[in-house]
Structure 1
Amino acid sequence: MCTPRETPLSYFHPCNCSPFLQKMTLLLAGVTLVSTFGSSFQYGYNVSVINSPAVVGFYNQTYLDRKGIPMESSFQTLLWSLTVSMYPLGGFFGSLMVGPLVNKCGRKGTLLINNVFSIVPAILMGTSKVAKTFEVIILSRIIVGICAGLSSNVVPMYLGEMSPKNLRGAVGVVPQLFITIGILIAQILGLTNILGNVEGWPVLLGLTGIPAVVELLLLPFFPESPRYLLIQKGNEEQARQALKKLRGWDDVDDEIEEMRQEDQSEKLEGRLSVFNLCTFQALRWQLISIIVMMMGQQLSGINAVGEMTPRKIVRWTKRGPGFLGKSRRAVLVFIVESLGRRLLLLVGFGICCVSCPIPFVMITEMFLQSSRPAAFMVGGSVHWLCNFTVGLVFLYMVEGLGAYCFLVFCAICLATFIYIFIIVPETKGKTFMEINQSMAKRNKVEIQMDKEKLNDFQPTLETLKKNEEGYSVSGL
Structure 2
Amino acid sequence: MLELHSLTASSIMRVLIMRAPLREAPPEKFALLLSGSPGKGALLFNNIFSIVPAILMGCSRVATSFELIIISRLLVGICAGVSSNVVPMYLGELAPKNLRGALGVVPQLFITVGILVAQIFGLRNLLANVDGWPILLGLTGVPAALQLLLLPFFPESPRYLLIQKKDEAAAKKALQTLRGWDSVDREVAEIRQEDEAEKAAGFISVLKLFRMRSLRWQLLSIIVLMGGQQLSGVNAIYYYADQIYLSAGVPEEHVQYVTAGTGAVNVVMTFCAVFVVELLGRRLLLLLGFSICLIACCVLTAALALQDTVSWMPYISIVCVISYVIGHALGPSPIPALLITEIFLQSSRPSAFMVGGSVHWLSNFTVGLIFPFIQEGLGPYSFIVFAVICLLTTIYIFLIVPETKAKTFIEINQIFTKMNKVSEVYPEKEELKELPPVTSEQ
TM class by smaller structure: 0.7 to 0.9
Distance 1:97 1:463 in 2: 25
* 1:331 matched to 2:331: no
Amino acid at match of 2:211: T
- Picking from 257, 264, 278, the partner of 1:316 is 257
Which residue pairs with 2:289 in the alignment? 348
* Higher relative contact order structure (alpha carbons within 8 Å, sequence separation ≥ 6): 2
Amino acid at match of 2:387: C
- Picking from 278, 282, 287, the partner of 2:219 is 287
CA deviation after TM superposition for structure 1 residue 89, in Å: 1.3
Helix, strand or coil at the partner of 1:129: helix
Which residue pairs with 2:52 in the alignment? 120
* 1:435 matched to 2:412: yes
CA deviation after TM superposition for structure 1 residue 270, in Å: 1.0
CA deviation after TM superposition for structure 1 residue 140, in Å: 1.6
Distance 1:176 1:137 in 2: 26
Which residue pairs with 1:406 in the alignment? 383
Cα RMSD of the aligned pairs, angstroms, is 2.6
Distance 1:97 1:335 in 2: 36
Which residue pairs with 1:369 in the alignment? 346
- Mark the CA change 1:138 to 1:372 in structure 2 (over 3 Å): closer, same or farther: same
Where structure 1 has 5 or more consecutive residues not aligned to the other structure, the ranges are 1-52, 59-76, 448-458, 466-471
- Picking from 38, 47, 55, the partner of 2:4 is 55
Using structure 1 for the length normalisation, give the TM-score: 0.77
Which residue pairs with 2:301 in the alignment? none
- Mark the CA change 1:317 to 1:237 in structure 2 (over 3 Å): closer, same or farther: same
Q: Indicate if the aligned counterparts of 1:86 and 1:142 stay in contact, CA closer than 8 A.
A: no
* 1:388 matched to 2:321: no
Which residue pairs with 2:22 in the alignment? 89
Range 297-306 or range 159-168, more displaced: 297-306
- Picking from 202, 210, 216, the partner of 2:148 is 216
For this pair of structures, how many residues does the alignment match? 387
CA deviation after TM superposition for structure 1 residue 96, in Å: 5.3
**Identical amino acids, percent of aligned pairs:** 59
- Mark the CA change 1:84 to 1:112 in structure 2 (over 3 Å): closer, same or farther: closer
**Structure 2 counterparts to residues 236-275 of structure 1, below 5 A:** 236-275=168-207
Amino acid at match of 2:260: R
Amino acid at match of 2:22: L
Which residue pairs with 1:445 in the alignment? 422
* 1:149 matched to 2:81: yes
Q: Report Cα offsets for 1:314-373 as digits up to 9, x if no partner.
A: 323322221111000111111100000000000011111224310000000000000000
Amino acid at match of 1:55: L
Where structure 2 has 5 or more consecutive residues not aligned to the other structure, the ranges are 247-251, 294-326, 437-442
Amino acid at match of 2:4: V
Q: Indicate if the aligned counterparts of 2:35 and 2:351 stay in contact, CA closer than 8 A.
A: no
Range 135-144 or range 167-176, more displaced: 135-144
Range 250-259 or range 101-110, more displaced: 101-110
- Mark the CA change 1:464 to 1:299 in structure 2 (over 3 Å): closer, same or farther: same
- Mark the CA change 1:265 to 1:198 in structure 2 (over 3 Å): closer, same or farther: same
- Mark the CA change 1:206 to 1:307 in structure 2 (over 3 Å): closer, same or farther: farther
Distance 1:432 1:298 in 2: 26
Amino acid at match of 1:282: S
Using structure 2 for the length normalisation, give the TM-score: 0.82
Distance 2:14 2:280 in 1: 40
Q: Report Cα offsets for 1:218-238 as digits up to 9, x if no partner.
A: 100111100001111111100
- Mark the CA change 1:211 to 1:84 in structure 2 (over 3 Å): closer, same or farther: closer
Q: Indicate if the aligned counterparts of 1:229 and 1:238 stay in contact, CA closer than 8 A.
A: yes
CA deviation after TM superposition for structure 1 residue 83, in Å: 7.7
Distance 2:63 2:217 in 1: 51
Distance 1:380 1:411 in 2: 23
Distance 1:164 1:247 in 2: 8
Which residue pairs with 2:296 in the alignment? none
* 1:164 matched to 2:96: yes
Distance 2:167 2:128 in 1: 50
Amino acid at match of 1:197: N
CA deviation after TM superposition for structure 1 residue 260, in Å: 1.0
CA deviation after TM superposition for structure 1 residue 102, in Å: 3.1
CA deviation after TM superposition for structure 1 residue 306, in Å: 2.8
Amino acid at match of 1:342: R
Q: Indicate if the aligned counterparts of 2:201 and 2:429 stay in contact, CA closer than 8 A.
A: no
Which residue pairs with 1:137 in the alignment? 69
